[in-house]
Amino acid sequence: MSSDTQVIKDWLKQHQISEVECLVPDMTGNARGKFIPANQFLDMGEPRLPESIMVQSVTGEYCDEHWELVEPTDADMILVPDAATMRVVPWAREPTAQIIHDCYTMDGRPHPLSTRNVLRQVLDLYAAEGLKPVIAPEVEFFLVARNIDPDYVLTPPSGRSGRKETSRLSYSIDAVAEFEDFVEDMYDYAEAQQLRVDTLIHENGAAQMEINFLHGDAMDLADQVFTFKRTVRETAHKHGVYATFMAKPMQDQCGSALHIHQSVVRTDNGANIFTTDKGEHSEAFLSYIAGLQHYTPELIGFYAPNVNSYRRLAPDISAPINLNWGIGNRTTAFRVPESGPEATRVENRFPGADVNPYLAIAASLASGYLGMKNKLTPSEPHQGTANEDEVEVARTLEEGLRNLGNSPEVREVFGELFLKAYAAVKRDEFEEFNRVISSWEREHLLLQV
């Protein structure tokens, strides 16, 4: 019995677990997997799943290039539990564990279509240089009234006062208190799962909130965000409302982001490489930012992965539309918060709340890594309001996918097969969406063109 297996066995026994959720993050960042009775989990051998689930779209359909991306026999993947991801499921009726699994091919290689493996590939590049990324995600989401008819627009839920929010209440304490029961349960669930959530604020939108995570290891934080999304949705269901991580769920409200604060430290002494001994910004720091600027147009499909994502990335909305960076400037895409040398970091403000956290973090860290390796030079830090400048990124999912994997270095980092699979899945989603005739078209074009 391996040490990990013994650790898992002891943990299941300690928590009197009766059922295990074997979880795998799919291409969209949602949980796939199996429920297995705890007394069978360690005795049945390695669980398996068909690799075809990795090339299903958000609608559950298989992409047109399905059999070019996976074995025509629809081969299995071997699932290996990661003991570091063991958590209780606090909303389950019976004592239940959730364990995130890594995916391997039948001959024992890390599966190239696993998004968790993609992030690990990027982290291995840093490790080979004696470096370790440190990240801190900020996750925004909306609470909305239950909506079982997709033809109806979403509306904010009623709070404890019985009223719905109608005004912008950024950082309002009383607005958060309207949903106090939800917030308390959410924090209790997070604590039970050892999610390192920090502050909560009310964001700019009606019933929109933001949770900040404490900084730490990139893979661990990706796992936590993956788990947190499930947690928030389950908490909302308990209170008779929905929680949505759509990037732009309502026309008259702002969008929801998943900002990623990031720095890089040396593994031997923990020193932040973004500053010099004199406390000034280092060449590595500037090249890291230059990498974000250079590779974001190519990787925007990982930051804006859905057709709805691009409604958030629009002029006059509090989201980036170009590649500017600045110090303490929240209108830029890449913001450097004012801080001391040890806390020097850059915040990538492109990712929406709808991202697969493994891919968004991988894309951001890969951009910085390639910027440092190629010693790229950034633009001058932007002064003033950046979102008054020209749009420099794709405005649709289809346009973003056309740019994906344009450079050989990005293809090498992410793998040709993975990039082809991701583009195929997302392109199918775009084409399916493009077949839908909207109410705007019927209203303005039916009798006037």
Model pLDDT for residues 302-337, shown as the tens digit of each residue: 999 999 999 999 887 789 999 999 999 999 999 999
Give the fold, CATH level 3, of 123-414.
Creatine Kinase; Chain A, domain 2 (3.30.590)
Q: How confident is the model at residue 5 (pLDDT cuts 50, 70, 90)?
A: confident
Q: What is the pLDDT of residues 173-195, one digit of tens each?
A: 999 999 999 999 999 999 999 99
Per-residue confidence (pLDDT) for residue 266, from 0 to 100: 98
What are the residues facing 158 on neighbouring strands?
164
Least confident range from 119-128, 151-160, 255-264: namely: 151-160
**Rounded-to-integer distance, Cα 253 and Cα 312, Å:** 10
The CB density around residue 108, as the number of other CB atoms within 10 Å, is: 8
Per-residue confidence (pLDDT) for residue 1, from 0 to 100: 37
Mean pLDDT of the chain: 94
Per-residue confidence (pLDDT) for residue 428, from 0 to 100: 94
Most confident of 147-156, 242-251, 316-325: 242-251
Q: Is residue 444 predicted with pLDDT exceeding 60? A: yes
Least confident range from 62-71, 237-246, 284-293: namely: 62-71
Q: Is residue 274 predicted with pLDDT exceeding 60? A: yes
Q: What percent of the chain is predicted at pLDDT more than 90?
A: 88
- Mean predicted confidence (pLDDT) in 84-105: 97
pTM for the model stands at: 0.96
3-state secondary structure the chain: CCHHHHHHHHHHHHCCCCEEEEEEECCCCCEEEEEEEHHHHCCCCCCEEEHHHHHECCCCCECCCHHHHCCCCCCEEEEEECHHHCEECCCCCCCEEEEEEEEECCCCCECCCCHHHHHHHHHHHHHHCCEEEEEEEEEEEEEEECCCCCCCCCCCCECCCCCECCCCCCCCHHHHHCCHHHHHHHHHHHHHCCCCEEEEEECCCCCEEEEEECCEEHHHHHHHHHHHHHHHHHHHHHCCEEEECCCCCCCCCCCCEEEEEEEEEECCCCCECCECCCCCECHHHHHHHHHHHHHHHHHHHHHCCCCCHHHHCCCCCCCCCCCCEEECCCCCCEEECCCCHHHCCEEECCCECCCCHHHHHHHHHHHHHHHHHCCCCCCCCCCCCHHHCCCCCCCCHHHHHHHCCCCHHHHHHHCHHHHHHHHHHHHHHHHHHHCCCCHHHHHHHCCCC
Q: Is residue 97 predicted with pLDDT exceeding 70? A: yes
Q: What is the pLDDT of residues 67-93, one digit of tens each?
A: 788 888 889 999 999 999 999 999 999
**Domain locations in the chain?**
3-113, 123-414
**Rounded-to-integer distance, Cα 224 and Cα 98, Å:** 12
- Mean predicted confidence (pLDDT) in 82-109: 96
- Mean predicted confidence (pLDDT) in 11-40: 95
Q: How confident is the model at residue 13 (pLDDT cuts 50, 70, 90)?
A: very high
Per-residue confidence (pLDDT) for residue 317, from 0 to 100: 72
Per-residue confidence (pLDDT) for residue 267, from 0 to 100: 97
Q: Which letter does DSSP use for residue 275 in this model?
A: B
- Mean predicted confidence (pLDDT) in 218-230: 98
Q: What percent of the chain is predicted at pLDDT more than 70?
A: 99
Tell which CATH architecture fits domain 3-113: Roll (3.10)
Residue that wins the pLDDT comparison between 150 and 285: 285
Q: How confident is the model at residue 449 (pLDDT cuts 50, 70, 90)?
A: very high
Q: Is residue 418 predicted with pLDDT exceeding 70? A: yes
- Mean predicted confidence (pLDDT) in 98-117: 96
Q: How confident is the model at residue 2 (pLDDT cuts 50, 70, 90)?
A: low
Q: Is residue 225 predicted with pLDDT exceeding 80? A: yes
CA 12, distance to chain mean position in Å, is: 29
